[in-house]
Chains A and B, each alone.
Chain A
Amino acid sequence: MRICFFNQILNRVVLTWLVLSCGWWIQAQDPVRIGSKSFTESVVLGEMLCTLARHEHLPVHHRSELGGTQFLWQALLKNEIDAYVEYSGTLSEEIFAGQGVFGLESIREELADSGIRMSQPLGFNNSYALGMKRARAAELNLTKMSQLHAFPELRYGFGDEFIERRDGWQGLKAKYRIPIEETRSLDHALAYRGIQAGSLDVIDIYSTDAEVVSYDLTVLEDDLAYFPTYEAVVLYRVDLANRYPKFVERVESLAGVIDNHSMAELNQQARINRKPESIVAATFLHDRFDTTIEIPSIQQQIAARRWQKFFVNAREHCFLVFVSLSLAILVSVPLGIVAYKFPHWGGWILGVVGIIQTIPSMALLVLVIPILGLGAAPAILALFLYSLLPIVRGTHTGLSSLSPSIHESALALGLPSAARLRLIELPLASQAILSGIKTSAVINVGTATIGALIGAGGFGQPIITGIRLSDFWLILQGAIPAAVFALLVQALFSWAEMHLVPAGLRIQPSSE
């Protein structure tokens, strides 16, 4: 009878476990994870892939505005994302740098070795280019760069970088035999103003810049193929094709759909007209690709912004700071104690923790992604590592600077080492330890904005989006709360100091 009863319970437990884990499995398997870089074109293209997935009724997760090429590439290899849009030039020059992988076919072969597939080019080429006012180009009947040498009277204005780069202006001038000695070096925004006002004729641009549309520019054709090509392609994992063959088929059929001018228009709508990227992407696909694709309503998009986003960012930011700082305290205080009790180890501990502090955050994140992937975990690890030094140092300094007579009388009382630490040394060092923690916390709150680079969210998110859209207010929406948060943390720890530091240490010694 009893065995029967046990069996029943066991059956139920096993059954529940199976149901739950299946549920988890389906959930974990399901979404198509799309990545994008932190510039508008990449986000719009990411939204296009998301739109296609939604159209196939697949759950989608867009990890948008990640910090850089390496982050996306590592995330793709690590199976943290399934697909993202990359450029052929970036693959040759950055991802396979120095390996001599040029041309789409060799890139495709190289990618296959890593279990990554590449779609046919989407159609546009986002490379360096020269732009002219449409009317001026028409007046001179200019369409190609090779025609430029016949017009020595043209006035050129270029950005500093373009003038400096070996593959920039100097090489271009030689290649096309442009008979010009004088060029003006100026800021990009000023160059656009100059061309608008008619004081410049030719400026350097990217071929899909939003400004091509908003300033009505003609992009001169690079007919001698001087600039390396940056053709957009979709990179996706082989297993995505197995999981969702229909979706991948749709992605492949995007080949050649987006030409340079269309991309510039999409950029213009998103970056200049501030239309939500999801709407820009869906509208384009609806108009040019498949009329059955639904366009999300703009109200829905706007409503999802502002306060809701603020609270999400705040929650994410607090989470990153709280977890990383708590872990750092749990590890650093004991490390500081070890460094104090065993001076031989002390040098090593302080040395290693100090070196960690000097690792640039971008480098650290790139190193961490292959281990922990994207999201909160790698961000917490990075923040944790950056929080160690002030606390370890504070603990070590606090303990080491106890006066010899205190130290001696604690020993002479015959208190065992652990009791000495608990009753005397740590309370006396508490001020230094707390101020180490305070320093860590304030730095941590500021540094946590890097979380947005790897999809951990936080107040870094509006900052990145703001920089991407040149939206000053959006940047402030991230920067101000982060600063206020840092001040609050500072105040909190000052208050904690008042209450946690033993009263006897806060009084002025009486003079006799």
Chain B
Amino acid sequence: MLELENISKRYGDLTVLEPTTLSIAKGQTVVLIGPSGCGKSTLLRMIIGLITPDSGHVKLDGTLLTSETVNTLRHSMGYVLQDGGLFPHLSAYDNVAIMARHLERWNNNEIHARIEQLAALTKLPIELLSRFPGQISGGQRQRVAIMRGLMLDPPVLLLDEPMGALDPLVRYDLQEDLKEIFRNLQKTVVLVTHDMGEAAFFANDVLLMAHGKIAQRGAIEDFLDSPASDFVSRFIRAQRFPKLN
């Protein structure tokens, strides 16, 4: 269970996040959506302790996130950024293995077994992993980043616009594969996106954020049928869905 209680953040006069309370049940997928600067990435960064809230606190399964517990809690959370955040000086394999090897002290066989498993899960040919991040495609890089996020089998997976920079075909395949992974692994997933279609595809539990606040929480259908505010209807309208049939 991931709990955020009354967390807020401001930079000088600029309020990035109004006091927000939110809880996400174990094994659930939640999507944060909203326009740029609405506070959705700030919220995600607070969950993993990259930004310290001005007020309130974050708890994972009852453990309070503090400067003492942050590194331990981070081991229970996989984090995937828009550009993957892979380390360019390490091979894809070493990127995935870094925590297991240097912090958890797994032996090579254990590491290799786990990586084979993850490669199958993310549908990456294992021989590709010997390459450096600069030598593989953007879609492959994101798959490697997801492998790295899953390596220690954390109960929580946080994804910050993981498909934002991919072209539509690559994105389509990755969305399909990711959804399957989420379903199979039963992780608690928080996914940030600005794409309504992607939000609808991944979850029934969508949080639409605006001006540092949660504007509405629910399924996409609720947003269409009963928008909580004028902003929600405008945001929905702004997404153009082609009518295919």
Using CB atoms and an 8 Å cutoff, list the residues of chain A in contact with chain B. Answer: 405-406, 408-416, 419, 423-424, 427-428, 502-505, 507-510, 512
Contacts and interface: CB of A to CB of B under 8 A. Distances in A.
A504 B88 contact: yes
Given A409-B87, A413-B148, A507-B132, 16 more contacts: A405-B83, A408-B45, A408-B50, A409-B79, A409-B81, A410-B87, A411-B74, A412-B50, A412-B77, A412-B85, A414-B71, A414-B103, A415-B71, A502-B89, A502-B90, A510-B136
A428 B87 contact: yes
Given A508-B134, A510-B135, A510-B137, A411 B50 contact: yes
B102 A419 contact: yes
Contacts, number: 83
A504 B98 contact: no
Given A408-B81, A409-B81, A415 B87 contact: no
A423 B81 CA distance: 20
Interface in B54-88: 70-75, 77, 79, 81-88
Interface of B: 45, 48, 50, 70-75, 77, 79, 81-91, 98-99, 102-103, 132-138, 148, 167
Nearest to A504: B132
A414 B132 contact: no
A505 B75 contact: no
Nearest to B151: A413
B74 A414 contact: yes
B135 A507 contact: yes
Q: Is the interface of A mostly helix, strand, loop or mixed?
A: helix
Q: Is the interface of B mostly helix, strand, loop or mixed?
A: loop
Nearest to A412: B79
B89 A504 contact: yes
Contacts of A507: 132, 134-135
Q: Which of B89, B132, B133, B148 has the most CB of A within 10 A?
A: B89
B81 A416 contact: no
A507 B81 CA distance: 22
B134 A413 contact: no
Contacts of A427: 89
Contacts of A504: 87-91, 132-134
A412 B136 contact: no
B133 to A, nearest CB: 7
A416 B102 CA distance: 11
A415 B89 contact: no
Contact of A423 (B71, B74, B91, B98): B98
B89 A505 contact: yes
27 contacts: A405-B81, A405-B82, A406-B87, A406-B88, A408-B50, A409-B79, A409-B86, A410-B87, A411-B74, A412-B79, A412-B85, A413-B74, A413-B148, A414-B71, A414-B72, A414-B73, A415-B71, A416-B71, A419-B103, A427-B89, A504-B91, A504-B134, A505-B88, A505-B89, A507-B134, A510-B134, A512-B167
